[in-house]
Structure 1
Amino acid sequence: MLSHNILINTGNILSLNEVKKKAGQNPSDELIETLKITLADFEIPDDASTKIIGRDDASVKDLDRKELKITVKVFISSPKSESLKEALDQVLNILQTDSIEALVIAYSKPESTDDILTSLQSLWIVIEEYIKLGKLSSVGVSDVDTDVFVQLFQWANTKPNIVQINLATCCVVPPALQVFTKENDVQLLTHSDPHQILPKAALNDVFGKNVNLHWVTRYQVHVKCRGVLSTKGYLVYINKPGTQTKR
């Protein structure tokens, strides 16, 4: 059975009337809706790697880069450095920029007994490489236990200066995390992203069965002087089985 990789770039979803009409959707529903719109007029071939691009260009190449703040969140379930490098390189390429102001990693591997700290450390090595190259500025992680975050912070050469928590599942910010972030000048932020932004059932509904999700990246571009969100989009990278070739 052949298989191939597919990269879907939704483009700037702020230009999609269908999405605007459903403002207030949770991030999963927004992503699923946007993917269906992007794929509506595109037939995915069974035998080649494919890149699918949405209706509206998300590039910032023609804008004054000094006036923009780019924030990126990578939802990833593999601790392999190649996967994170792939996600970062693709978003830099799509936006046609050399740098990202703020990056957050949301690492989760369902039904896994993996050591979360070890996995985050593997990914953090990549982050530190990109910081040295001047491609990243503020960096952090999402939805990790306080002990894990503290250990990552103490281990890292370049310290995480962002930590996100989901109040929908956490209810109250852990006091120990509040104290640690305040003492170490770490931004403590809340978010509303689900644990799995593209669940398996939704993945199968959009792409068909037996599809494997590599990662999802959400990018947002703000105009700093006005505090306005000008661009928002997603990159989704999957592996899809193809047809059986008869000999």
Structure 2
Amino acid sequence: MKGGSPSVIRKIGAEKSNVELINSLRANFLASQHVEPVTPSSSSSEEQSTTNGTTYANGQAREQKQRYLEWTSQQDGAMYIPALDFSQAGLSEERSQYDITVKLFYLPGIPASRRCAHTREAIDLVLKELHVDSIDLLIVSFPGISFDADDDGEEEISDNGIEDPDDFDNMLQTWNTLETLCDQGMIMQLGVAEFGSEKLAKFLSHTKIKPSVDQINVRDCCVVPKSLILYAKQEKIELLTHNDCTDILPVGAIRELLGPHDKGAGILASAPDANDGIQGEIETQWVVKYTAVIKDRGVVENKGYFALADVGSCVQEQS
């Protein structure tokens, strides 16, 4: 999806990113636990319980309460869920054979001052996972922006419905960090998400390295505003469409994933006074999605997500 003249490349039938992310996280957690179920027996007098959809004898269920310590790891004040293993090769062929695209979601409610550190953390994890020293394209998704294909506008959420100048300044500050990573050779090209022609025009006038991609979520897959197509062609910006969700990992979903109930990973404590897990309010900080495609075959060889959340101390998740 690189190079050539500006065009609209559609991704048909893709699974919603939040559904894909949650399902892959849950599957990864379960695969990492390596727990053996107890075969229920009608002759057993021991009470049965269910954890993560698997039946255990009551005594065994109690032993599972802090089993997460066996399949997670801690380093520099962060817990990795599951424990990361970067010893396996991330790609099977030479780096030059791949197009590696990364999309970084900055989440609502997180101060923009944290984005510089978040950007480096997210990209570093992807580079380690794939065993590469650069990515071809980084697309950033800023919170509070939604694309409206009907009027080629974008609505930035604020209390009074008017675009907040501070939000725009924060985007520019974040972009400066991305430009630095480009200058260092870590990122080859940059992209944005949900920008209409007006916001693009305003944004480009303040950037040193302009975005080469604008990724938009078009509700009617047959309609892309003509004004945006013309402006993108003028500025040599490639238009892509996507099926990602802006509310990619809400608090309720992360609590369910990490909680003590049937479908949870048993990371969070079961009660405010319980010592069977981590106590505290949880807040998702960022989500990053990466895809490595073999260029000459168009085959996705490696795809996944990383996410980071705060629960008093940092909690990082991988899928």
| TM class by smaller structure | 0.7 to 0.9
Gaps of 5+ in 1: 1-22, 243-247
Where do 1:8-27 residues align within 5 Å?
25-27=15-17
Unmatched 5+ stretches in structure 2: 1-12, 34-66, 146-156, 260-279, 314-319
For residues 184-199 of structure 1, the aligned pairs below 5 Å read: 184-199=235-250
Aligned match for 1:210, one of 264, 281, 290: 281
SS at match of 1:155: coil
> Tell me, what secondary structure is at the counterpart of 1:75?
strand
1:97 to 112, 122, 132: 132
Cα RMSD over matched residues?
2.9
CA contact (8 A) 1:117 1:148 kept: no
Considering fraction of residues, name the structure with more helix: 1
Q: For the residues of structure 2 that align with 1:211 and 1:109, how far apart are their CA atoms?
A: 21
Equivalent of residue 66 in structure 1, options 96, 107, 128: 96
- Out of 181, 197, 218, the position equivalent to 1:167 is 218
TM-score (norm 1): 0.78
Q: Specify the alignment match of 2:153 in structure 1.
A: none
Summarize deviations over 1:209-230 as a string: whole Å, max 9, x none. 8211111111100111111111
TM-score normalised to structure 2 length: 0.62
Match for residue 201 of structure 2 among 132, 146, 150? 150
CA displacement, residues 152-211 of structure 1 (integer Å, 9 cap, x when unaligned): 112100111110110128983233221110101000110010111112221221124821
Q: Distance in 1 between matches of 2:84 and 2:27?
A: 9
Q: Which of 208, 228, 241 is matched with 2:299 structurally? A: 228
Counterpart pick for 2:171 among 91, 112, 120: 120
Across the two proteins, how many residue pairs are aligned to each other?
220
Cα offset, 1:60, TM superposition: 3.2
Contact preservation (8 Å) 1:219, 1:233: yes
- Percent identity of paired positions between Structure 1 and Structure 2: 28
Measured in 2, the distance between the counterparts of 1:237 and 1:98 equals 21
Q: Which has the higher contact order (CA 8 A, sep 6+)?
A: 1
Structure 2 CA distance, aligned partners of 1:239 and 1:204? 12
Q: How does 1:42-81 map to 2 (within 5 A)?
A: 43=68, 48-53=77-82, 59-60=89-90, 63-77=93-107, 78=110, 79=112, 80-81=115-116
What letter is aligned with 1:51? Answer: Y
Bigger radius of gyration: 2
SS at match of 2:236: coil
